[in-house]
Chain A
Amino acid sequence: MNTAVQSGDAQQSWYQRNRFAITPWLFLAPAIFFFTLYVIAPIFQSIWISFFEWDGLGEKKWVGMGNYVELMDDDRFYTSLKNNIWWLVLYMLAVPVGLAIALFLNQTVTGIRIYKSLFFFPFVISQVVVGLIFTWFYNPDFGIVGIVWEFFGAKPPAILADENLVTFGIIFAGLWPQIAYCMILYLTGLNNVSPDQIEAARLDNAKGFGMLWHVILPQLRPATFIAVVVTVIGALRSFDMIAIMTGGGPYGSSNVLAYFMFETSLSEYGFRMGYGSAIATVLFLIMLVYISYFLWRMYQDEKGA
């Protein structure tokens, strides 16, 4: 064995000698190539385009910070930003509600497995479909909301036509699949909670909410972390539901940055790629805060590992 390796040494080719330095790059090359082409480079291109006035057809015209200056004076931008904040805040409800459902389902009675998968259903369905379902739900004339309201003798609200309700209506619809997602994360997390610690805590007379707060939740931290991360990203990516349910309406009051950007740069009523890129850049910077936090957490873990 030893001799074989040694005799090999003498005839080792350049590749053989450097294989540990080169092979990883060979393995990585296709992924890096595609990822750079379609993800990394476009980020910088977008930021660059945001300094131009461009309709996507003709010449780009340099306007410096012009697009950003205009953005600061654009009511639609503030409406979208405000709605994005509502999304971020209210979408977070998915985390505790998901936990509650997970706790409710974390039993071993017969058939529970099938219940768990059925509860997870909404997450698997496209947001387009969820959006369509709820659009119809909210229809005051023949939707569920209309029927329920009328059952109680009240006049049904036109949720998607009311500037004060519309965003909450869409968020509520969006929460449905997101709760399912958080639930499944917590169900798996609960599986991994150490039974010994629970037993020990029970001996100490811990139970109910106290037990949950002091013993279980700390152990669920990884699940909570992922749940928060995916929820934040989901909130900032909210696009499909808005496109389907309202198109940002009525009169722009349910817009969010993601949809506003699309509408500005690629819809019937606007082909302002530069201005759109400026909006995208702002959205990216907001997201960057979370991405940095996530990476920092990962880095801590890597160092620890």
Chain B
Amino acid sequence: MFPKPIETRGSGAVLRYQLILPIALIIWLLPLIAIFLTSIRPGSDINAGNVFGWPSDFLLLENYKAVFTESKAWLYLKNSFRITIPTVIISVALSCLAGYALSVYRFRAALPLFFIFVAGNFVPFQILMVPVRDFSVQTGLYDTITGLVLFHAAFQTGFCTLFMRNFIKALPHELIESARIEGVGEFKIFFYLVLPLVRPAIAALSVLIFTFIWNDFFWATVLIQGDHGLPITAGVRSLNGQFVSQWHLVSAASLLAAVPPVLMFFIMQKHFIAGLTLGASKG
């Protein structure tokens, strides 16, 4: 283990370390703590310059209620789910199929195809913006959640395929070979043998994609116009236009936007980190 475990330096060192940890954490999360404090104080505190001090009044419920009643935060949150969940399902499904094909079968196009998926995943969004928007306008998918979902799913397929392909490649190939020898059909092998094995990968991908899509702002801005389809990220921005100088409400709305991915991360932490670092541990 590196650095040397702190225990080896005696109990004083451990104590000191455990003292520094929370202090470091508070400094690190200072922005979040500040925004949380802001979200529960009355607006007058901020105008009076009381930003970091003790709130003059605790308005946790009032402020959050105000966000819901005075704005369309609820609709935005709902839209975020309506965008995020189908995207996760489609992109993970597509990439399970593609990743399987690219890892199990040996054919000449496999590697170039794989590289195209990887490369596409890295391109700047702006190079896709004009044609994707134009295509959506022409097909009537513009300004619909369906249109946004289809694009997100297609784009995330790149990353998901990279991930799935590497994951399946690491599975013991003999399993598949022996199933083939037993005469099991290719689709059956995929459904009954491989899919159960890649469950951890599916979980990891799902949390990751959930976070990516939930936090998307650019594509929502490009492909959605009205409140009926705006996700919470874009919604928070328009709330910022509505609650001008009402930082307590903007803060409350921002925190609301952050809650689902944070919860997701906490519940699925193991999968999340596995997902992020799969590439790293494989190199």
Q: How far is the CB of B103 from chain A (nearest CB, A)?
A: 10
Proximity bits, A257-290, B CB within 8 Å = 1, else 0:
1100110011000000100110111011001001
Contact status A283-B126, CB under 8 Å? yes
Complex contacts, B151 vs chain A, CB 8 Å: 38
Q: How far does the alpha carbon of A130 sit from the alpha carbon of B257 in the complex, in Å?
A: 11
Does B97 touch A at the CB level, under 8 Å? yes
Q: How far is the CB of A75 from chain B (nearest CB, A)?
A: 20
CB contacts under 8 Å to B, within A117-136, are 117-122, 124-130, 132-134, 136
Q: How far does the alpha carbon of A104 sit from the alpha carbon of B107 in the complex, in Å?
A: 46
Q: How far does the alpha carbon of A62 sit from the alpha carbon of B153 in the complex, in Å?
A: 33
Contact of A133 among B35, B52, B215, B276 (CB under 8 A): B35
Contact of B129 among A147, A223, A280 (CB under 8 A): A280
CB contacts under 8 Å to A, within B105-161, are 105, 107, 110-111, 113, 115-120, 122-135, 150-151, 153-155, 157-158, 161
Contact status B122-A287, CB under 8 Å? yes
Contact status A189-B130, CB under 8 Å? no
Measured CB to CB, the nearest residue on chain A to B162 is: A298
Contact status A109-B17, CB under 8 Å? yes
Complex contacts, A280 vs chain B, CB 8 Å: 124, 126-127, 129-130
Complex contacts, B49 vs chain A, CB 8 Å: 142, 147
Complex contacts, B129 vs chain A, CB 8 Å: 46, 261-262, 265-266, 276, 280
Contact of B281 among A8, A23, A30, A189 (CB under 8 A): A189
Query: At the interface, is chain B mostly helix, strand, loop or mixed?
Result: helix
| Highest count of chain A CB atoms <10 Å: which of B21, B100, B250 | B21
Q: How far is the CB of A129 from chain B (nearest CB, A)?
A: 4
Number of A residues contacting the other chain (C-beta, 8 Å)?
A: 111
Q: How many A-B residue pairs have CB under 8 A?
A: 308
Complex contacts, B100 vs chain A, CB 8 Å: 27
Does A239 touch B at the CB level, under 8 Å? yes
Q: How far is the CB of B38 from chain A (nearest CB, A)?
A: 8
Does A236 touch B at the CB level, under 8 Å? yes
Contact status B127-A233, CB under 8 Å? no
Name which of A65-73, A87-95, A159-167, A190-198 contacts chain B: A190-198
Contact of B124 among A35, A176, A265, A283 (CB under 8 A): A283
Does A251 touch B at the CB level, under 8 Å? no
Contact status B97-A261, CB under 8 Å? no
Name which of B64-72, B198-206, B261-269 contacts chain A: B261-269
Contact status B123-A291, CB under 8 Å? yes
CB contacts under 8 Å to B, within A126-180, are 126-130, 132-134, 136-137, 142-144, 147, 176
Chain B interface residue number, banded: 35 or more
Contact status A265-B130, CB under 8 Å? yes
Does B89 touch A at the CB level, under 8 Å? no
A-B contact pairs, 28 of them (CB 8 A): A23-B101, A24-B107, A28-B97, A28-B101, A39-B158, A42-B127, A43-B127, A47-B127, A56-B134, A106-B3, A120-B265, A124-B261, A126-B257, A129-B233, A129-B236, A132-B236, A142-B46, A142-B51, A147-B52, A188-B277, A190-B2, A226-B279, A258-B124, A266-B129, A287-B122, A295-B115, A298-B118, A301-B283
Binding site for B on A (CB under 8 A): 4-5, 8, 19-21, 23-25, 27-28, 30-32, 34-35, 37-43, 45-47, 49, 56, 101, 103-104, 106-109, 112, 115, 117-122, 124-130, 132-134, 136-137, 142-144, 147, 176, 181, 184-185, 188-190, 192-193, 195, 198, 207, 211-212, 215-216, 221-223, 225-227, 233, 236-237, 239-240, 243-244, 257-258, 261-262, 265-266, 273, 276-277, 279-281, 283-284, 287, 290-291, 294-295, 298-299, 301-302
